[in-house]
Amino acid sequence: MSRVSIIGAGYVGLVTGVCLAEKGHDVVCVESDAAKLAAIREGRAPFHEADLPELLKKHIGHRFTATASVDEAVAATDLTLIAVGTPFDGKTIDLSFVLQACDEISRAIARLGRYHVIVVKSTVVPGTTAGAVQERLEQVTGKKAGLDFGLGANPEFLTEGTAIKDFMHPDRIVIGGIDERTLDALSALYTGFVGVPVIRTNPSTAEMIKYASNSLLAAMISFSNEIADLCTVVGGIDALDVMRGVHASTYLTVTNGNGARAQAPIASFLEAGCGFGGSCLPKDVSALVAHGNARGLDMGLLREVMTINRRRPGRVVDALTRGLGALRGKRVAVLGLAFKPDTDDVRESPAFPIIRALLEDGAQVSAYDPVANEPAQRALSGVAVSYARNMKDAVEGADAVVVVTRWKEFETLPDVVAKMDPPPLVFDGRRMLDRAAFARYDGIGL
């Protein structure tokens, strides 16, 4: 059992905290936002994530406590995970929250006068922990990393919507430490994960593993989207059939012990669509490109991965224009505002640039998402969109319906559209619907 504090009860910090408590550790979480702190203390999850409310209720006040004081948290524990935000301004990762956490931890450990391990869990570009973070900690504490305190990096591999499950059943555990003592303290946190590969390395490598992993996923998505666009311009090829053929290779479809063939999970990133969004993929790829550039390396491939992604909204609008003619005055229903299904997170949602492009062309936009209408409305404040309470209201009277997010609920779109006269053009931005179910259908890669 370890005693661990976590700075930041955001998405990563809170999920990590309750899961470590579930694994038997004593966890103190530090949150500076008073409303969030109050919610957590009452056992209420401040955001939508499966299984989080149950785990929080189970452990709050017992193995999991929350405070506003870094001092108190550090004094009660032996290891501190930094899980604060690292916003990206287009050029560099903003380290101000990380460094602010470093300052507070430094003051606490200077007062404490005993060995403590500090670990960066926030996503930071390779070299940050052993560079800027170490420098700051040594400067403020007046102590030496590796001697008076331990220092490491421990990136997370959580997917929104399944974050608790991902934490409790990880595919890998990556721990980076500047020395063996740090690595041992970090591995003690993860002893409860039997059979999971643990990659013990230095902090910069750990940081790079995180970026390389997300960049690979993004590259696969943009690859699929480029192939799909080529299918569209060549004509007579359906990208869905092409990808079915690609997926069937034994690299992507594996034969299990019973001889049954099953698609490898990675194949789910080889599906054409209207682009990747969220708080991780776009930001991580852009930050890595900028990081390379700052060191004189042109990251041509990943740069293009982003360019292809930025063109996705244009592809949707082009297809609608092909089907409807000029969009001025046309009514378009956008289904799906969350950046992916099963979350209310709208950060970098592909729906937003699509909506903006439609409005720019003079279309009237109605929008609907099963859970993300309100966050979308806040993010798009001042943008002329009407939000519908359900799918039926959103598509009523529409000339075109665009499916942007792969929500299960949208599978019932054929029933809703069947009653409409004249039938709208349905543009399937995720290729999730049966084209034969619609009078007028188009989609990515057709």
Q: Which positions lie near ligand UGA, rule CB under 6 A? A: 156-160, 214, 217, 221, 268-269, 271, 273, 275-278, 280-281, 339-340
The closest alpha carbon to 375, from 336, 334, 413, belongs to 336
Rounded to the nearest 10 degrees, the angle between the axes of helix 351-360 and helix 300-324 is 50
> Distance between CA 361 and CA 337 in Å, rounded?
20
Nearer of residues 159 and 187 to ligand UGA, judged by Cβ? 159
CB of 373 to ligand UGA, least distance (A): 18
Nearer of residues 190 and 269 to ligand UGA, judged by Cβ? 269
> Distance between CA 179 and CA 161 in Å, rounded?
34
Do the bridges between strand 253-255 and strand 261-263 make them parallel or antiparallel, or are there none, so unpaired? antiparallel
Alpha helices in 175-202 (DSSP H): 180-189
Classify 328 as helix, strand or coil: coil
Nearer of residues 37 and 158 to ligand UGA, judged by Cβ? 158
Count of other CB atoms within 10 angstroms of residue 271: 21
> Residue 62 half-sphere exposure, CB side, CA atoms within 13 Å?
12
Catalytic one of 29, 231, 274, 280: 280
User: Is 293:325 a contact under the CB 8 Å cutoff?
Assistant: no
CB of 401 to ligand UGA, least distance (A): 18
CB of 163 to ligand UGA, least distance (A): 8
Nearer of residues 106 and 214 to ligand UGA, judged by Cβ? 214
CB of 360 to ligand UGA, least distance (A): 22
Burial 159-173 (b: 16+ CB within 10 A, else e): ebbebbebbeebeeb
Nearer of residues 116 and 283 to ligand UGA, judged by Cβ? 283
User: Is 164:50 a contact under the CB 8 Å cutoff?
Assistant: yes
Q: Is 280 assigned a catalytic role?
A: yes
Phi, psi of 81 (to 5 degrees): -100, 130
CB of 151 to ligand UGA, least distance (A): 22
Catalytic residue numbers, as ranges: 280
